[in-house]
Amino acid sequence: MLYIGTSGWQYASWRGPFYPVGLPQRQWLASYAERFATVEINNAFYRLPERDMFAGWRDQVPADERVAVKVSRYRTHVKRLRDPSEPVERFWSRAEALGAKLGPVLLQLPPTLRADPSVLDEVLAQFPAEARVVVEPRHDSWWEEPIAEVLRARGAALSWADRGGRPIAPLWRTADFGYLRLHEGTAQPWPRYGRAALDSWLSRLSSTFDTRNDDVFVFFNNDQNAAAVADAAALIERARAAGLHLARDELVRTGGSAAPDKADRDRRHQRAAGHAEHHRAGRAEQLERARQQHNDQTGPDHPGRRARGEPAAEQDPGH
């Protein structure tokens, strides 16, 4: 099913165009969730909230809402994926307070971090089996088959991404779910997306995923001038017109309830566990083959092998 929403929900420019002028900011998330079935929490990237904050967000949204969370920049930008055990455990111990409403978790990598399949694998191995992990690299060295092999072996998704109405990453499918981030369109008023760009992305998604059975998350990150909420609403309408399966439309079509019962939650957990087991079967052999291919192609002096000598942190807006 298609889950369409925005990256974040607390933007001053949305008061008036999206939120009623008199609505207190503490009620914005609940108001947002009435209209969109998913949201990407990006303030966790800058400072990891306490567990109580995640629990508070859980209580403000309906049962069918899926909340994606961007992993803290401490893990990606400061530690640069090294020594992953404690930071991942700390992140998960807090984010899991979202319960059944927790969606994918996003690892957005710094633009100067070069690819290293073994380091990526070590990070992904720290997440529990039920986690749906998404990786958004931003350096061209990541667009190689050994990286795709690691993602497939771990059941992690490569984040598709757009800027200017065009893909800025390979359109690999590496997991049983999809994830797309749209950063900036070229339509007017800026930074909106036009109909042609939206339809192109729907075509790419529907040719790669079965929206009846596969969960696909789409987030607009062009928050300026309330463009993100306008584009998200427009994409929902165009997806509906194209006959694609939208999360809340499916509830209406099947007569289902927005609040999943225990049996439904159990089925979801069993499906997640089965997916994890499927992708981890034979993982050691796949990873060894990927590493060997990487070594054969690059040799010991490849820039990715020198990534550990790069600065420990950098200024990055992390959008």
Chain segment 307-318, per-residue pLDDT in tens: 333 333 334 455
The residues near 214 (Cβ < 8 Å, ≥ 6 apart) are 1, 176, 177, 178
- DSSP-derived pairing of the beta strands 38-41 and 66-70: parallel
pLDDT at 43 over 50: yes
Which pairs from 14-19 meet CB under 8 Å and 24+ separation? Answer: 14/223, 14/226, 14/229, 17/225, 17/226, 17/229, 17/230, 18/226, 18/229
pLDDT given for residue 241 in this prediction: 97
pLDDT at 62 over 60: yes
pLDDT at 85 over 80: no
* Dihedral pair phi/psi, residue 309, rounded to 5°: -90, 5
pLDDT at 266 over 90: no
pLDDT given for residue 305 in this prediction: 36
41-50, 80-89, 106-115, 134-143: which has the minimum mean pLDDT?
80-89
pLDDT band for position 258 (50/70/90)? Answer: very low
| pLDDT (mean) for 288-292 | 51
pLDDT given for residue 178 in this prediction: 98
For residues 191 and 160, what is the distance between their CA atoms, to the nearest angstrom?
Answer: 19
Summarize pLDDT for 125-154 with one digit per residue, the tens. Answer: 999 999 999 999 999 999 999 999 999 999
102-116, 120-134, 244-258: which has the minimum mean pLDDT?
244-258
Domains of the chain, start order: 2-309 (3.20.20.410)
pLDDT given for residue 72 in this prediction: 81
pLDDT at 289 over 50: yes
